[in-house]
Each structure stands twice: as C-alpha cells, then as structure tokens.
Amino acid sequence: MTIDKTDLSRHHVPRTVSDRIAYRLVGMVQFVAGVLFGRRYRHRTIVLETIAAVPGMVAATLLHLKCLRLMIDDRGWIRVLLNEAETQRVHLMVFVSIDRPNLFERLVVLFAQGLFYNAHFLIYLLSPRTGHRIAGYVAEDAVRGYGQYLNEIRDGRQDNPPAPGLAIAYWNLPPDARLSDAITAILEDEALHRDINHSFADALAGGQNLPGPPQIVS
C-alpha cells in the first residue's frame, strides 16, 4: 500500500452502497458544522477534531480484539491507527491553544462526540469497510476545509497568529512559524489519513483480511 500525502486533491468516488452511506453520513456532519459555525474556522475545527479523532481509536481497538481472537499479527496497523487518533488530538490542541471553546461549543462537543463514537463503533462492528470509508471521507472534508482556511489566511481575510509552541515542537517548525505553517502540516496529516483509510477499505472490499503496511511517500 503506497500513500502519497502530498496529493491534496484526491477524492474517492463512491461506488458501492457502503461507500454512498459513508459519504452521505459525513456530508450530513459537515452540513451541520457549516450551519453552526460558518467561516469561524478555528471554532469549527475544534468541534470537528473531537469527532475526527474517534475513527482511529475505534478501528485500533476493534482490530486489536480481532487479532487476539484470530491469533494473527496486526502487521503494524494497530500502531498506525492509534497514531492517527493521536495526531487528530494534536490538531485539536493546537487550535484550543489559540481559541478557547465557549459553553455552547463544549455542549456541542459533548453531544456530537458521544453520538459519533457510539454510532461509529456499531458501524465498524457491522462493517469495518464502511468504518474506514467514513474515516477516509472525514479526512477528505478536513483537507478541503483546511485548504479553504489556508487560502483565506493567505488572502488576508483571516488572521495569521504565531504558531503555538505545541505545533512548532510536534512538526519541527521554525521558531517564527505562523498558524499558516501549522495548517500546511495539518493538511499533509489529513491527506495521509484519507489515503490510509480509503486504501484499507479498498483492501477489505477486495477480500484481504489485513492489507500490507502503508508505504508513505513524502
């Protein structure tokens, strides 16, 4: 499995019923986020990243249990999926260090995360392929959203404060890095998550029990 995290335009066209269900579910989440937050990108990101961190953790947990039941090696996938969840948490904390969520946003997070975690857990139990496809489309939308945000910063329509220390340390950015530099790094992360999950779903659709470990192109 070869992954090119520099390709920010890739889109998986829904082909099966499972794909279309995943695509529409993610579209509904993005629609609601758009209604609630509009162009308030940082606040929108804070809420959506609490959801985006769920699929990797769910997949890692259930894959761990599957490997125990079948007594097979995970081929490195549990660590890959846990790293995905951890990276999404870092994305969240970068924006929380700039803008603190208000009470309404905290309530939205409480409701949305609880609903999404339980729904995704059930979906993954019934169809791991659909679970990974959902994660792929979540990351696709994140690539689009962060890309729009970055363009607005570059055009002067959004402010570009200094990058938080967490972002500088995590992505090894220069000391004078700005938020736009952190968003550029986040875009690569999201493209990586997109391709990993779509490729995993494709492998499951092709009858593979576990795909080979991802080969990441820098």
In 48-184, beta strands by DSSP E: none
pLDDT band at 215 (very low <50, low <70, confident <90, very high): low
Contact (CB, 8 A) for 11 and 140: yes
107-162 tens-digit pLDDT? 988 998 899 999 999 999 999 999 999 999 999 999 999 999 999 999 989 999 99
Q: How far apart are CA 94 and CA 60, in angstroms?
A: 24
Residue-level pLDDT at 66: 93
CA atoms within 13 Å, Cβ hemisphere of 101: 23
16-45 tens-digit pLDDT? 998 999 999 999 988 888 787 777 888 888
Report the percent of the chain where pLDDT is more than 90: 66
**Residues comprising the chain, all counted:** 218
The one-letter code for the residue type at 106 is R
The CATH homologous superfamily of the domain defined by 2-217: Alternative oxidase (1.20.1260.140)
Q: How far apart are CA 153 and CA 180, in angstroms?
A: 7
Domain ranges in the chain are 2-217
Q: How far apart are CA 203 and CA 14, in angstroms?
A: 15
Partnered with residue 183 across adjacent β-strands are none
Positive/negative CA dihedral, 28, 33, 39, 44: negative
pTM comes to: 0.90
